[in-house]
Amino acid sequence: MTPEIKKIEEKKLIGKRQTMSLSDNKTANLWRSFMPLRSEIKNNLTNDLISLQVYKQSYFAEFNPTGEFEKWAAVEVSDFNNVPAELETFTLTDGLYAVFNYKGLSTDNSIFQFIFGTWLPGSEYDLDNRPHFEVLGDKYINNDPSSEEEIWIPVRLKGRITIK
pLDDT at 161: 65
Share of the chain above pLDDT 90, in %: 80
Domain around 141: 4-157
Asked if the structure places residue 153 within a domain, the reply is: yes
Question: The domain that contains 113 carries what CATH number?
Answer: 3.20.80.10
Query: Could you read off the pLDDT of 117-136 as tens digits, one per residue?
Result: 999 999 999 999 999 999 99
Domain count, the chain: 1
pLDDT at 164 exceeding the cut of 60? no
Confidence of residue 163 (pLDDT cuts 50, 70, 90): low
Query: Could you read off the pLDDT of 58-109 as tens digits, one per residue?
Result: 898 887 889 999 999 999 999 999 999 999 999 999 999 999 999 998 888 8
pLDDT at 57: 87
3-class DSSP string for the chain: CCCEEEEECCEEEEEEEEEECCCCCCHHHHHHHHHHHHHHCCCECCCCEEEEEECCCCCCCCCCCCCCEEEEEEEEECCCCCCCCCCEEEEECCEEEEEEEEECCCCCCHHHHHHHHHHHHHCCEEECCCCEEEEECCCCCCCCCCCEEEEEEEEEECCCCCCC
0.75 exceeded by pTM: yes
Asked if the structure places residue 163 within a domain, the reply is: no
